């Protein structure tokens, strides 16, 4: 029976989240359901932990199989060496499942023999499990990838409550419902009715609320902003080669020019065009010949041009620091501003503990980054500063230049930038909106992971940030998926495919009203962490005694 529960819970993690073979979102609830049964059926806390850890390890390892792709195709390790690395990451994440099992065991022991004891144990397990997800989000730089709420992104009704309690809190509600349903199976007769009904209520209430919210959904009355997204689909292993640099620039310029011309013919001309993370493989600030090509394009087309590139500056000791940067050139050809990525990917953008490993050096491709400093939103002009401005003569077809009489823009778009997997952390989107962001932008390069489920899982996590903050999110990547996500977390069309050249215009409605979750962000996470700490604290208190009514022999 225990083996069946372990494999069922692992299968729920694997099949509930986006996968290369499809997805059944509701199956993700099998994980907390099975962990609760595994834990309360254990005779000792050690067994509760080990069973739950094994369940999580198998599920996470299977769902994160795509980690092996960059390790083998970029790092150069053979598959026989890459598989243990995937299992090692799965085993680490499984530790949080083990702690969840330990929390369930402790709660069951504490409430054993009390009236409605299993009901209380199952109910508190929900926020306790969610608190452990919060812990996973910041411990050792954090990796909150397969959070329960992300599984429900394909069902927009099911994620709307994230605007109230965040993705972690929403996951806690669903986990509480699953644990209560598991508790009902351990009760006898009419005693199982209360936990069963309460569990089903907790599972059904969020989508009912979400349906009502979407029925009454209204975009802000202000005009939509057209933004062009360009997915270049450039080979990850070639674009840094000098011979391919000019070709990469020309490729993006051609896709963008076609996009602008076609959109203008339809009356959908974009005010800005965005390219993915590290789309431009050169040092923008130190290679003016290449930078001037991009400035000229923005000037000729009177658009804001935003693109991923490599930033550089010297620190206090004169050492050159490199940054994963999003740079914006304005419609007058000048610099609007930039954002440097703050949360770097371990082993992908820097080496933790200065480990000297050949495959890590290969994945860094010779460009270790430094974390950026705190920046407010980038403010893009929405008015064309060239519309009513006198222009200088431009003989010979050179780009027209603005004279000193050019008008300054009157309207702005406050853009909160999230580079790559910064979109999986709620606190970064929270910080952008706190500083005034009206629209979130996620640029990424998921080419590292090939045709796996990683890009779709990443897209789903980004959608949660849109719901939490009540902001539309624009996403553009090198190889897919590029899309616009509205403030309700609905992924719009068109949406790019994987490994295709694509360029299209999306319409976004900037928003300024904060969500309840945005106002309560810190309190929600603190409550969940406190619930987890309380559940785990009960373990040393209860291990010395065993109340009548324990379920240690029930399974």
SS3 annotation, 212-243: HHHHCCCCCCCCCEEEEEEECCCCCCCCCCHH
**CA neighbor of 143 nearest in space, from 422, 459, 373:** 422
Q: Which two tokens stand for residue 425?
A: 């952390």
pLDDT of the residue at 242: 78
Q: Which residues contact 477 (CB under 8 A, 6 or more apart)?
A: 231, 276, 277, 443, 444, 445, 446, 455, 496
Q: Which two tokens stand for residue 528?
A: 């969940």
Distance CA 485, CA 483 (A): 7
pLDDT of the residue at 357: 56
Crossing angle (nearest 10°) for helices 117-136 and 79-111: 140
pLDDT of the residue at 393: 38
For residues 458 and 277, the answer to whether their CB atoms sit within 8 Å is no
Long-range contacts of 112-120 (CB under 8 A, 24+ apart): 112/546, 112/547, 112/548, 112/549, 112/550, 112/551, 113/547, 113/548, 113/549, 114/547, 116/194, 116/195, 117/549, 118/40, 118/183, 118/186, 118/187, 118/195, 118/551, 119/180, 119/183, 119/194, 119/195, 119/198
pLDDT of the residue at 551: 52
**Beta-bridge partners for 391:** 402
pLDDT of the residue at 391: 36
Q: Does the pLDDT at position 355 exceed 60?
A: no
Distance CA 79, CA 179 (A): 38
Distance CA 488, CA 157 (A): 9
Is 420 designated active site? yes
Q: What is the pLDDT of residues 390-400, one digit of tens each?
A: 333 333 333 33
For residues 61 and 86, the answer to whether their CB atoms sit within 8 Å is yes
Catalytic-labelled residue, pool 420, 422, 468, 525:
420
Residue with tokens 């970064």: 428
Q: What is the pLDDT of residues 109-134, one digit of tens each?
A: 999 878 888 999 999 999 999 999 99
Sign of the Cα pseudo-torsion (394, 399, 404, 409, in order): positive
Distance CA 452, CA 459 (A): 13
Q: Mean pLDDT, to the nearest integer, of 217-229? A: 88
φ/ψ of 505, rounded to 5, equals: -105, 135
Q: Which two tokens stand for residue 393?
A: 């003569």
Question: Percent of the chain, pLDDT > 90?
Answer: 72
Distance CA 159, CA 201 (A): 16
Largest CA distance in the chain: 93
Give the HSE-up count for residue 274: Cα atoms under 13 Å, Cβ half-sphere.
26
Angle 542-546-552 (CA atoms, 0-180°, nearest 5)? 105
Beta strands in 420-467 (DSSP E): 439-444
pLDDT of the residue at 426: 97
Distance CA 103, CA 97 (A): 10
Catalytic-labelled residue, pool 73, 133, 187, 277:
277
**CA neighbor of 226 nearest in space, from 282, 192, 266, 176:** 266
Q: Does the pLDDT at position 265 exceed 70?
A: yes
Distance CA 337, CA 468 (A): 26
For residues 280 and 248, the answer to whether their CB atoms sit within 8 Å is yes
pLDDT of the residue at 94: 98
Q: Which two tokens stand for residue 110?
A: 């504490």
pLDDT of the residue at 356: 55
CA end-to-end span of the chain, whole Å?
A: 7
Band (407; pLDDT cuts 50, 70, 90): very low
pLDDT of the residue at 346: 83
**CA neighbor of 416 nearest in space, from 368, 505, 504, 487:** 487
Phi-psi region of 528 (alpha: psi -120 to 50; beta: other; left: phi over 0): alpha
**Beta-bridge partners for 283:** 310
Distance CA 450, CA 70 (A): 8
For residues 205 and 151, the answer to whether their CB atoms sit within 8 Å is no
Catalytic-labelled residue, pool 341, 349, 422, 525:
341
Q: What is the pLDDT of residues 536-554, one digit of tens each?
A: 988 666 655 555 445 554 4
Distance CA 332, CA 300 (A): 9
Q: What is the pLDDT of residues 58-109, one digit of tens each?
A: 999 999 999 999 888 877 788 998 999 999 999 999 999 999 999 999 999 9
- Say how many C-beta atoms besides its own lie within 10 A of residue 123's C-beta: 22
Q: What is the pLDDT of residues 483-518, one digit of tens each?
A: 999 999 999 998 999 999 999 999 999 999 999 999
Q: Does the pLDDT at position 237 exceed 50?
A: yes
Is 277 designated active site? yes
Question: Percent of the chain, pLDDT > 70?
Answer: 89
Higher pLDDT, residue 362 or 221: 221
Distance CA 81, CA 72 (A): 9
**CA neighbor of 5 nearest in space, from 95, 97, 75:** 97
Distance CA 20, CA 114 (A): 46
Q: Mean pLDDT, to the nearest integer, of 211-236? A: 91
**CA neighbor of 272 nearest in space, from 309, 342, 327:** 327
For residues 482 and 476, the answer to whether their CB atoms sit within 8 Å is yes
- What percentage of the chain's residues is helix, strand, coil (to nearest 5)? 50, 15, 35
Is 187 designated active site? no
Distance CA 462, CA 316 (A): 35
**Pairing outcome for strands 225-231 and 272-274:** parallel
């Amino acid at each position: 029976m225990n083996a069946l529960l372990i494999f069922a819970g692992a299968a729920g993690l694997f099949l509930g989240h986006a996968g290369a073979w499809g997805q059944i979102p509701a199956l993700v609830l099998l994980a907390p359901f099975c962990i609760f049964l595994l834990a309360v059926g254990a005779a000792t806390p050690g067994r509760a932990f080990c069973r739950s850890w094994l369940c999580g390890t198998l599920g996470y390892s299977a769902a994160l199989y795509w980690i092996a792709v960059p390790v083998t195709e970029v790092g150069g390790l053979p598959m026989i060496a890459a598989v243990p690395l995937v299992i090692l990451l799965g085993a680490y994440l499984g530790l949080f499942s083990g702690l969840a099992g330990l929390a369930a065991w402790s709660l069951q022991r504490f409430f054993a023999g009390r009236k409605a004891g299993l009901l209380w144990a199952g109910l508190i397990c929900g926020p306790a499990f969610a608190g452990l997800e919060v812990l996973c989000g910041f411990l050792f730089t954090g990796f909150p990838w397969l959070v329960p709420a992300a599984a429900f992104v394909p069902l927009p009704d099911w994620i709307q409550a994230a605007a109230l309690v965040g993705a972690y809190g929403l996951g806690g509600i669903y986990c509480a419902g699953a644990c209560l349903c598991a508790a009902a199976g351990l009760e006898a007769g009419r005693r199982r009715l209360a936990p069963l009904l309460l569990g089903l209520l907790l599972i059904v209430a969020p989508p009912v609320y979400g349906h009502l919210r979407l029925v009454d959904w209204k975009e802000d009355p202000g005009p939509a902003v057209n933004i062009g997204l360009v997915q270049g689909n450039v080979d990850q292993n070639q674009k840094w080669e000098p011979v391919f640099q000019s070709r990469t620039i020309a490729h993006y310029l051609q896709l963008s020019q076609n996009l602008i011309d076609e959109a203008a013919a339809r009356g959908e001309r974009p005010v800005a065009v965005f390219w993915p993370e590290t789309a431009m493989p050169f040092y923008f600030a130190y290679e003016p010949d290449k930078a001037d090509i991009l400035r000229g394009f923005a000037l000729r087309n009177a658009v804001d041009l935003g693109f991923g590139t490599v930033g550089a500056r010297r620190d206090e000791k004169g050492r050159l620091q490199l940054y994963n940067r999003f740079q914006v050139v304005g419609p007058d050809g000048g610099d609007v501003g930039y954002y440097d990525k703050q949360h770097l990917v371990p082993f992908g953008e820097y080496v933790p503990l200065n480990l000297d490993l050949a495959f890590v050096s290969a994945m860094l491709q010779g460009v270790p980054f430094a974390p950026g400093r705190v920046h407010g939103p980038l403010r893009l002009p929405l008015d064309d500063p060239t519309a009513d401005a006198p222009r200088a003569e431009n003989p010979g077809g050179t780009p027209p230049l603005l004279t000193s009489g050019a008008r300054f823009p009157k309207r702005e778009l406050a853009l909160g930038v999230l580079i790559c997997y910064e979109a999986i952390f709620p606190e970064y989107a929270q910080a952008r909106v706190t500083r005034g962001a009206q629209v979130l932008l996620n640029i990424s390069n998921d080419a590292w992971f090939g045709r796996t489920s990683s890009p779709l899982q990443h897209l789903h996590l980004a959608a949660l940030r849109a719901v939490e903050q009540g902001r539309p999110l624009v996403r553009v990547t090198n190889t897919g998926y590029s899309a616009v996500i509205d403030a309700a977390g609905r992924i719009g069309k068109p949406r790019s495919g994987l490994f295709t050249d694509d360029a299209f215009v999306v319409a976004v409605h900037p928003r300024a009203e904060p969500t309840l979750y945005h106002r309560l962000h810190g309190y929600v996470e603190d409550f969940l962490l406190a619930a987890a700490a309380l559940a785990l604290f009960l373990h040393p208190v209860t291990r010395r005694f065993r109340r009548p009514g324990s379920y240690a022999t029930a399974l």
